[in-house]
Every structure is written in C-alpha cells, then in structure tokens.
Amino acid sequence: MTASVQVWPLGRVDYDDGLRMQDALVELRREGRVPDTLLLLEHPSVITLGRAADRTNIVASEKLLSARGIEVYETGRGGDVTFHGPGQLIGYPIIDLNPDRRDIRRYMRDLEEVLILALSDFGVAAGRIDGLTGVWVGNKKIAAMGVRVSRWLTSHGFALNISTRLDDFNLIVPCGITDKAVTSLEREAGDVHSLDDVGMVIARRFAEVFGREMTMQHVQHESVQVVIYREREGQREYLMLHRLPERGNFWQPVTGSIKRKRNEAPKDAARRELLEETGFDVEVKDLEYVHTFIVEKKWSKKGMEAHAPIFNREHSYCVRVGDGPVTISPKEHDAFEWLPFEPAFERLIWPGNRKAFQKVEKIPASR
C-alpha cells in the first residue's frame, strides 16, 4: 500500500507561527495522528540563522533591519544565513524517514531533485553544484535548503525564489557563499507564476520522488481580528479586552470566527464582531494583513480536537473610535482597558495580534 502525503497550501505564515506549526506537526506525526505532511507557504521578510550560521553574514545594520521591519531568528535547522520574503515559496516537509530512507544525504538530494524536476516543468534547467547545498541555475542559486532531522522525523526544508525581490539578498551573505549570485524563477523563465501554481507542481513532484500518494488539503477555518484605537490629547490609545479565565485568561483585540456557512465576508464578520464585543457600530479598515496559524489543542473549540491539524486563516482590520462607551460581551470578556501602544503591546501573547498592532501604530495620527 502506497504511503500518503498531505499537502497544505497555507498562504502567508509569520515565521514564529511557522515554527509552532512544525513543532506541533512533528509531535502529531510521531504519535501517528497525521500522515507525512508538506506545508507550502510564504513568509514575510525575515532573516534566519541555522545551527552553523556565522552572524557576520548579516551585512545590514540593525538600524536598517529595524526600519524595514525585518526580524532575525535563530533556528534549529542546518545551514547558515537565509533570507525569506514575499515571492518566495517555502516548503516544510514533516515526514518519517523510517524505515527505508534513514539517510540524511539522500534526503537532501531528494529535496533538491523535487525542485530540479519542478523547475524543468517551467522550462528552467536547474541542477546541483558539487560541495554546495541547494538548487542552482548555472552559478546562481535559485533555492536554499536547511533541514532538521530528529529521530528520523524531518522539519524545516527549502525556500524557492519565484518572484522574490533579489535586492533583498544584499542584506546578507546568502548561506555564507561570497562568490555566487541568486536568481528566481521569474528571472530565469521570463514569466510570472503564482506561488499556488508553482506549489501544485512541487507537490506533484514531491509525491513522485518520495513515492507518496498526494492528498491536497485546504484551510477550513477563518477568523478576523479588529484593532480598536482612539486619539486623546495627542496620544493614541488601544482598546484591550480581557478574555474570561475559562476562555483563555489573556488580553487581546476583538477577535471572532467568520460564518462561512452564511457566506459571510471577512469585512462583514469584522464589523459584526466589533458590535457584539464592544458595542461600536462603525466601518472598519482593512489592514491588508492576512496570515495563517495552527490552532493549539487547548484553544480549539469543542468538537475540533478530533481533527488534526487545525489551521486558521485570520484577516486583520482596525477602526478609530471616539469617546463613546464600551459594552463588552460577558460571554467573551470580563474587563477592558484603554492603553498606549507599549503597555498594550506587552500584553499581547499572539504573534498575529502583535503584527496587527504594529501596522496600526504606523498609521499617521489625524489632525
């Protein structure tokens, strides 16, 4: 019987959420609760350091990275310094190499083969360079690789440049290699391809190389968050809501699920949740920030725990309000506070909430 691989196209995933996904899926795979899994996604601009990384290979100053909102992460994968950003397709295989593929060198070559075959489907002749990891078009690197293997369960993986802004690689010495350039599918093929289209080809080639039967999966759960702020005496304040102890016991903005069975649009869900949780009935502004994360078991709703993994896609909005009264929902929250950015930010525990607050803080103050 042919083993299967579940393929999850996830869209944008913040890097720290991507780490959580992998940790959770490795445990689920180890417990036999999920089959082999391939996550396909895109990260915002971020620099990552592998176990063998030389930090001096980050050539951009901390000031420049901070100004551009680029975070730096130390990871448990192999390899040196890597840049991830929009237009780059990330693949995280969570697969069990037991019993017949317990060879890390073979695994790396197999991942390279997946990408080489996929690129050939787009008319790009890619290959390997002796002594170097990754996939190359001539002397130009088109895909970086860095993996982690723990008791023969894999995580991390590859990053394929599709329409990535190549100038961003000037922030680092890619993989510590000083005499090679980087390239992208768009540059080499001369055509524009979506990450979803390329992801489907890679998924098919992955199943072929690893001898798996491919099963496509899709994110079923969607939610919204709404950051509420006001301006008083020249200072911006944010409305923080405290969840009931039995519902988490943490501070957050307005959040809630999109009622897809009712064909509810994300913006309509945001306005409905805003009214239900605070009493404000006003138009919301799209922050143009959509991200996907894994729902931890302890936060899943009743009946969801039997399904694994559970991914949620969240749409972000904001709204500026006046000094009207706040009417919180007693089913969700037991307290609220208006706080300046820094103390409000410190209370947030979820990466997606923090990213949304940072985007709102950059909105110019009204005169």
Residues in a beta bridge with 9: 40
Name the E strands within the chain: 4-12, 36-42, 46-49, 71-74, 81-84, 88-94, 127-129, 132-137, 140-150, 153-161, 181-182, 213-216, 221-232, 235-243, 251-252, 254-257, 285-294, 311-320, 333-339
Containing domain of residue 300, as a range? 221-361
Residues 295 and 150 in one domain: no
Residues 148 and 38 in one domain: yes
Task: Tell me the residue type at 62.
Answer: E
- Distance from C-alpha of 354 to C-alpha of 65, rounded to nearest angstrom: 18
Task: Tell me the residue type at 366.
Answer: S
Q: Is position 286 within any domain? A: yes
Q: What is the DSSP secondary-structure string of 47-84?
A: EEE-TT--GGGB-S-HHHHHHTT-EEEE-SSSSSEEEE
Residues 96 and 181 in one domain: yes
Show pLDDT as tens, one digit a residue, over the chain (367 residues): 679 999 999 999 999 999 999 999 999 999 999 999 999 999 999 999 988 888 889 999 999 999 898 999 988 888 889 999 999 999 999 999 999 999 999 999 999 999 999 999 999 999 999 999 999 999 999 999 999 999 999 999 999 999 999 999 999 888 777 788 999 999 999 988 999 999 999 999 999 999 999 999 999 999 999 999 999 988 999 999 999 999 899 999 999 999 988 899 999 999 999 999 999 999 999 999 999 999 976 655 555 555 689 999 999 999 999 988 999 999 999 999 999 999 999 999 999 999 999 999 999 987 5
Residue 193 sits in a domain whose CATH number is 3.30.930.10
3-state SS assignment for residue 306: coil
**Domain edge (last residue) among 216, 235, 264:** 216
3-state SS assignment for residue 168: helix
Q: Are residues 82 and 90 in contact, defined by beta-carbon separation less than 8 angstroms?
A: no
Residues 229 and 193 in one domain: no
The confidence score (pLDDT) of residue 138 equals 96
pTM reported for the whole predicted model: 0.93
**Domain edge (last residue) among 174, 194, 216:** 216
Number of domains in the chain: 2
Q: Is position 367 within any domain? A: no
Residues 193 and 100 in one domain: yes
Residues in a beta bridge with 48: 73, 82
Q: Judging by DSSP bridges, how do beta strands 36-42 and 4-12 pair with one another?
A: parallel
Among residues 40, 89, 175, 228, the one annotated as catalytic is: 175
Q: Is position 338 within any domain? A: yes
How many other CB atoms are there within 10 angstroms of residue 329's CB atom?
17
Q: Is 318 a catalytic residue?
A: no
Residues 155 and 275 in one domain: no
Residues 232 and 188 in one domain: no
**Domain edge (last residue) among 194, 216, 238:** 216
Residues 58 and 147 in one domain: yes
Q: Is position 132 within any domain? A: yes
Q: Is position 160 within any domain? A: yes
Residues 229 and 329 in one domain: yes
CA 205 to chain centre: 23
Residues 158 and 227 in one domain: no
